[in-house]
């Protein structure tokens, strides 16, 4: 639940880009995608958990290669381009296939379903992480992205949990 608290901090910090509207847009886009691809709502949390865990080492490697500032700018550019294929520019075709296979094996979903959903799901993760970036004209790093990348695998940065808590936060009276 730690990463979700970082999301809430980004929403409450006037120097960061996060907003409730942005969180709602990201979660709605993911939910619409899930429904359109025939993925069961009960599988969404697991899909997002596996995807987040698969993306973390890739993003860490790119941060090391580019440096923090340039990497954060790249995440902002990709996240700002919408829910689509541009998010895959961060991933080699081989890595995309590896992620598809991993998600498929751990969730039981068809690789074709995962392959079709991967661009939008990856965009959703990046958009969520970009909520912690600073507003233009404000100095500082993105604590939300840093928290995700610096995970010690204690479960506090699970993307599935973030999506679950975001839905609870946005729909407190839903069952």
**112-144: per-residue pLDDT in tens?**
999 988 888 888 889 999 999 988 877 778 888
Confidence of residue 21 (pLDDT cuts 50, 70, 90): very high
Rounded to the nearest 10 degrees, the angle between the axes of helix 20-36 and helix 41-66 is 120
- Is the model's pLDDT at 153 over the cut of 70? no
Residues 103, 153, 2, 42, CA torsion sign: positive
CA distance 4 to 158: 9
Residue-level pLDDT at 20: 94
**64-90: per-residue pLDDT in tens?**
988 888 888 888 888 776 656 566 677
Give the bridge partners for 134, in sequence order.
16
Report yes or no: 19 and 11 within 8 Å, Cβ to Cβ: yes
Residue-level pLDDT at 24: 94
Using alpha carbons only, how large is the chain's radius of gyration in Å?
A: 15
Report yes or no: 134 and 17 within 8 Å, Cβ to Cβ: yes
CA distance 153 to 53: 9
Report yes or no: 174 and 59 within 8 Å, Cβ to Cβ: no
**85-113: per-residue pLDDT in tens?**
566 677 888 888 988 999 899 888 999 99
- Is the model's pLDDT at 50 over the cut of 70? yes
């Amino acid at each position: 639940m730690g990463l979700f608290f970082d999301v809430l901090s980004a929403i409450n910090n006037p120097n960061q880009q996060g907003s409730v509207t942005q969180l709602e847009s990201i979660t709605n886009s993911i939910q619409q995608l899930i429904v359109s691809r025939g993925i069961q709502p009960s599988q969404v949390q697991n899909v997002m958990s596996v995807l987040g865990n698969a993306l973390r080492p890739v993003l860490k490697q790119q941060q090391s290669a580019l440096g923090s500032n340039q990497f954060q700018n790249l995440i902002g550019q990709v996240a700002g381009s919408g829910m689509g294929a541009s998010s895959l520019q961060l991933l080699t075709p081989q890595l995309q296939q590896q992620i598809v296979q991993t998600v498929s094996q751990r969730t039981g979903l068809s690789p074709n379903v995962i392959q079709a959903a991967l661009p939008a799901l990856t965009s959703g993760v990046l958009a969520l992480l970009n909520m912690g970036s600073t507003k233009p004209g404000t100095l500082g790093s993105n604590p939300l992205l840093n928290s995700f990348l610096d995970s010690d695998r204690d479960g506090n940065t699970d993307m599935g949990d973030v999506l679950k808590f975001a839905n609870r936060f946005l729909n407190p009276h839903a069952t």
